[in-house]
Amino acid sequence: MQIMVSTNTSLSFKIIKKSSMLVSPAESTPYEFKYLSDIDDQGGLRAYIPIVYLYPKNPSMEGKDPVNIIRDAIAKALVFYYPLAGRLREFDGGKLVVECTGQGVVFAEADADVMLHQFGDPPYPPFPNMEDLLHMSNHNQIIDRPLLLIQVTRLKCGGFIFACGFSHPMCDGYGFNQFMSAVAELARGASLPSILPVWERHLLSARRPPRVSFTHHEYDVVSHPHPDLDLDQMVERSFFFSPADISALRHSLPPHLRSCSNYDIVAGCAWRCRTIALSPKPDEQIRFLGVSDIRKRMKPPLPVGYYGNVIAFPAAVTTAGELSKKPLEYAVELVRKAKNQATDEYLRSVADLMVTRDRPNFTAANTYLVSDLTHLGLELLDFGWGNAAYGGVAKAINWFPNEVSWYMSYKNKMGEVGTMVPICLSPKSMQLFVKHLQIMMTAARTTSAL
C-alpha cells in the first residue's frame, strides 16, 4: 500500500490568458420541457461534479489546437444531447424539469505557464489551482444555470487539460462518460456518435401509487447533525492499493469472502480504518453508503443510450464499537451485503421514497459515502491526442453536498493497475488512519505468506 503524499498542492502557476463563451448546438434543436426521473432529481444529487483529464503533447497533432477541435465537437454533440444545452427548472413539489432552450454550455479557454509533469508522474489528485482550471462557484446551485461547465487549458509543454463540471441530476458517471465519448468521437472525425442518446426518463419515475418496499437507511433522519468541518484544517491523502495489496487482504479473509470484489475489500478496509481514526463513541451508529450502478440489473433492461441516473446508495449500518473491534471480514461482509441490495426493485423503491418524503438528502452524520469510478475508464477519453495521462475527479474528496470519496483506477510508475483511495481527515485523525491501515496491511501480508 503506497501513501500518495501529493507535492502538487505546493505547485503554483499562472493563467496567462482566459476567455469564455456559451457553446450552443451546431444545429437548431427542439424547444420543449423534459421531466427528469425521480432518481435524477433527489436532493442528494443536486450539485455539479468536477472531472479533469490531463493530456501530454502528441507530435502527430502538431499545429492542431485542442480548444477549437473540442469546442466544435461539443457543439456537434449537443445536437444529439440537446437537453444538456438547456436549463433546469423546479416545478411544484420540487420536481426538476429541463427546459430545452438551446442556450448552450459554458466553454472557457486558457493558457497556463506550467508543464504537465509538474502535476506528478503519473499525475494524481488533488490538483492545484483548480479554481483556475475550472471555475465552478456555488456548485450546489443548479437551477437556471448552464448544465456543463467546460475549460480547455493549454500547457507550456504542448499538452493540455480538459476540465468539466456536470450537473448531476442530468446524468450519472456512466451517462456523463457516454456524452464525453460522443464528443471525443466527433472530435476524431465521426459524423455521429456510435451510441445515440435516449431520454425516456419516465422509465425511472415513481410508481402510482408509490410502494416503498425497502428500509432505506441511507435517507434516515438522525438526531446528531453533520459536523461543520473547517476544510482549511483538513489533510488530503491518496492511498494506492496495488494488486498485491488487495490479494493479501483477500487471503486474510475467510474462504466464503474471498470471491468478493476488489471494491468490497478496499472499501471495507478504508471504512474500518477511517472509523477508528475518527474515534466516535462505541455506541454511535455509523453508515457506509456505496454508489451502485444498477444498469445491468434492470428488468427489463433500459434502452441502450439511456444517460440518466441509474444509481442507488444502499447503506450498511452498524455501531462504531462493532466495526472497530471486529476483524476486517465484518466490514467487508457489511459492504457486500449492502451492495447486493441494489436491484431493479430497490431502485424503484428509491423513486417511490422520493415522492413520498419530499426528495430527501442522504444521511450525512457518521457516514462514509463512496463512489467507485474504477470501471468507467475515464482515462481512455481520446480527442485525437490519445488517452489521457489522468482521467478522474479533480479533487480526491468532494462535498456535493455531502462528503464523497471517489475510488479511481490508477497505474503507478511500475505499470501496476490498482485502486486509488482518497481520504480527507484532520491531521490527528490522518495519523491514526495511516497507523491502523499499516497495521492491517502488515497483518494481511503475514497471513497470506503462511
Q: Is 382 a catalytic residue?
A: yes
Amino acid at residue number 36:
L
**Distance between CA 85 and CA 365 in Å, rounded?**
36
Give me the phi and psi of 96, to 5 degrees please. -90, 135
Considering only CA atoms, give the Rg of the chain: 22
Q: Give the angle subtended at the CA of 307 by the CAs of 36 and 19, to the nearest 5°.
A: 90
Tell which residue, 280, 265, 277, has the closest CA to residue 321. 280
348, exposed or middle or buried, with CB in 10 Å at 0-12, 13-18, 19+? buried
Give yes or no for a contact between 123 and 159, defined as CB atoms under 8 angstroms apart.
Answer: no
Q: With b meaning 16 or more CB within 10 Å and e meaning fewer, what string describes 169-207?
A: bbbbbbbbbbbbbbbbbbbeeeeebebebebebebbbbe
Tell which residue, 120, 32, 25, has the closest CA to residue 79. 25
Catalytic residue among 139, 168, 216, 436: 168
Give yes or no for a contact between 353 and 219, defined as CB atoms under 8 angstroms apart.
Answer: yes
**Distance between CA 308 and CA 298 in Å, rounded?**
13
Q: Is 224 a catalytic residue?
A: no
Give every CB contact of residue 59 below 8 A, 6+ residues apart in sequence: none
Tell which residue, 421, 270, 268, has the closest CA to residue 332. 268
What are the residue numbers of the active site? 168, 382
